[in-house]
Amino acid sequence: MMGQIGTPVICIETGYVEALGWNQYGGWRVGIRSLDKKRYYYYAHLRQDYPYQAFSFKYSRRAGTPAAVMPNQVEEKIKKERLDILQTLLFSYQEAFNKSCVGKVMPVLFEQKGRHKGQLIGRTPYMQNLHIETESANINKIINVEVTEATTNSLSGKEI
């Protein structure tokens, strides 16, 4: 699989993380082995400085599915350890990227009111949550915002 920088990719297969980190051949990479151990997906040349948005979770048995009755199920403890390793790495990338956005101006599509009075929440071009103090009339509008703060999960900014 090849693509230009910024090409969105969706990869779906039930499996487990078998390799994670950096090596001299593939750079930053993650390797995923299918549950039946017949397929191995090697995602290489991942950019450490690029905004990873990943949803990861532990496999859980679903009644009526072939996987629910397969032998050699992975223990909960091991599933948790593997998920923790993956999420720690992904969250560190996400936080570093978010912090690199501080001081930048970007267009934000505001979608809804925030938790606090006068606050709106929107999405950047990288799909990061960003909140600002502004009028509710700006819902469903794209506004240029300077990013002023960053955490792992969201950005704060001011309207330009």
For residues 65 and 34, what is the distance between their CA atoms, to the nearest angstrom? Answer: 15
Task: Report residue 35's pLDDT band, with 50, 70 and 90 as the boundaries.
Answer: confident
Contact 143, 121 (CB under 8 A): no
| Of 147, 17, 10, 3, the residue nearest 84 (C-alpha) | 17
Q: What is the pLDDT of residue 1?
A: 47
What CA–CA distances, in Å, run from 136 to 114, 141, 158, 160?
10, 10, 15, 16
Residue 73: exposure state from Cβ atoms within 10 A (0-12, 13-18, ≥19): middle
pLDDT higher at 156 or 93: 156
Lowest mean pLDDT among 34-48, 72-86, 140-154: 34-48
Task: Report residue 70's pLDDT band, with 50, 70 and 90 as the boundaries.
Answer: confident
Question: Given a cut of 60, is residue 31 above it in pLDDT?
Answer: yes
Q: What is the pLDDT of residue 159?
A: 94
In the chain, the largest separation of any two C-alpha atoms, in whole Å, equals: 58
Task: Report residue 71's pLDDT band, with 50, 70 and 90 as the boundaries.
Answer: confident
Question: Given a cut of 70, is residue 54 above it in pLDDT?
Answer: no
> Tokens representing 149?
């703060």
pLDDT in tens, 103-154: 999 999 999 999 999 999 999 988 889 999 988 888 999 999 999 999 988 9
5 three-class SS: coil
